[in-house]
Every structure is written in structure tokens, then in C-alpha cells.
Amino acid sequence: MDTASRSRSSLIVAGALVGPLAATFSLPAHATATDTSPTGMVAFFPQNACPDGWEPATYAQGRLLLGVTDLTTYTLGKQVGTALTDLIAPSHDHSFAATLTLSEHKLKYGDCGGSTKGGAKKGDYTVNGPTLSGGDTGLPLFQMLACEKQDSGQSPPPTDGYATAALAFFNLEACPTNWVPATDSKDVAINGNFVLSFETPPDGTVGTLVGTPYGNGEQRTHAHDLVVSA
């Protein structure tokens, strides 16, 4: 069965908390504040250009970021599927095949009183083809610029000032200093999961994993029931 999968790119996810997460912006800092973000951090910015010391994460263009912590199983930076385009939510259709079993029906020739067996020949008939486009999947999207922090050249690098339990993506083979692989509320490692953002998460849901994680390079498929009547 044909299906279109959502595009994604795998990055290591570090911290101590997973979604639903509170969605927040950092407040504007003083102009002389030092950016202590670790090299390799990937972050989103609601602006048209990356901040100083950051470069566009072009590999993430039009893609959902899949959080992984086990790089012996998952390939860092692996891209799967076709990237989404500007302001367009994903859509899909399916191919299908069905068999119809028809009984024989006769037709009369009006006033002549005759009949024919050509009205509908009994037997099994195969019907196949594509479904109509499913249209917008309803996936809620918020477009922002993805940027990756570049090496500042400082030695030793500055100690970052991020709060404990912050969650972040890194284009690195291992977590930076003072960061650890992210786990859920039951200390289960996060591998193959997307992060779901909430401004005010429902009670008891913070740090909860839901559903079956994606495998390395997996293009997940799904099916719909098809009912045919004659």
C-alpha cells in the first residue's frame, strides 16, 4: 500500500525532560550578554536570520526533528522522506484493490416484452486505483528558523547557563559537558520520539512517552479500512 511519510532528520537529544514540554521563548538579553550555548546545539528562532555565532541548520529544512540518544542504533543526521515545503502541511493518498461479486440481472425491452442477459453479467470484478487526495493532514505546524551553534574558538569553552532539565537537540556524537542523554519521567531513554510542545501541559503528562518509537531510517506506513458495496 502506497503512503507518504512525514519527513524527519535524526539528532541527539539531551537534557532531563521530554514532551509534552512547556513552549517558551527566552527573554531579550542585555546587548553585551555572552552566548554560552554549547557548540553543536540546534535551536529554533522566530526570526529571518540566525544570531551571531549560529548558522542555518540546512539539513533540518522542512523536517521534523527526531530525538535519539543511542547512536549505536540510530544514525546521527539521517534524513528520511521528502521535506515539507513552505506553509504546506503534508497530504497523502493510498492505492487500493477490491473485488466485487455481482449477481445476474435481466433487462426488459419495454413494450416488446423481450429480455436480455446483458444487463449485468454475474461474477467477480476487480476494482483498483488510487484514492482521492487526503488533503491537509491537519498536522499543526509553526515555522521557525533552525540554526546550529558554531564553535566559538574559546579555550576552554564557556560554561553554558541553561537551566537544569532543559531539553535540546545537538548535532554531535555525544552530549556536551554538563548534559546527559534525555529520558522520560520513568528514566527510559528517548529514542525515536518527537517532542510535543504545550504552553500549559495537562497535569501528569510532562515527561510521558506515547506510541511506538521510530526505528533508524524507518518510513512508517499506515492503512485504512475500505468498504465497497454494489
Rg of the Cα atoms in the chain: 27
Residue 45 and residue 150 share a domain: yes
Classify residue 158: in a domain, yes or no.
Answer: yes
Contact 42, 168 (CB under 8 A): yes
Classify residue 90: in a domain, yes or no.
Answer: no
Residue 121 and residue 147 share a domain: no
Q: Which three cell numbers stand for residue 116?
A: 436480455
Query: How big is the chain, counted in residues?
Result: 230
Residue 158 and residue 101 share a domain: no
Residue 144 and residue 199 share a domain: yes
Residue 122 and residue 145 share a domain: no
Classify residue 2: in a domain, yes or no.
Answer: yes
Residue 113 and residue 50 share a domain: no
Q: What is the average per-residue pLDDT within 178-201?
A: 87
Chain CA centroid to CA 56, Å: 20
Residue 16 and residue 40 share a domain: yes
Residue 114 and residue 3 share a domain: no
**pLDDT tens for each residue of 50-96:** 999 999 999 999 999 999 999 999 999 999 998 988 888 777 777 88
**Cα gap 69→11, rounded to integer Å:** 8
**pLDDT tens for each residue of 97-114:** 888 787 876 666 655 555
Contact 67, 194 (CB under 8 A): yes
Q: Which residue range is the domain that position 123 belongs to?
A: 95-130
Contact 147, 57 (CB under 8 A): yes
pLDDT tier at 29, thresholds 50, 70, 90: very low
Classify residue 185: in a domain, yes or no.
Answer: yes
Residue 111 and residue 49 share a domain: no
Residue 124 and residue 186 share a domain: no
pTM, two decimals, is: 0.73
Classify residue 89: in a domain, yes or no.
Answer: no
Chain CA centroid to CA 186, Å: 23
List phi, psi (to 5°) of 110: 45, -125
Contact 25, 176 (CB under 8 A): no
Classify residue 88: in a domain, yes or no.
Answer: no
Contact 118, 32 (CB under 8 A): no
To 10 degrees, the CA torsion angle through 85, 91, 95, 99?
A: -170
Residue 55 and residue 108 share a domain: no
Residue 101 and residue 11 share a domain: no
Q: Which three cell numbers stand for residue 112?
A: 416488446
**Cα gap 67→202, rounded to integer Å:** 22
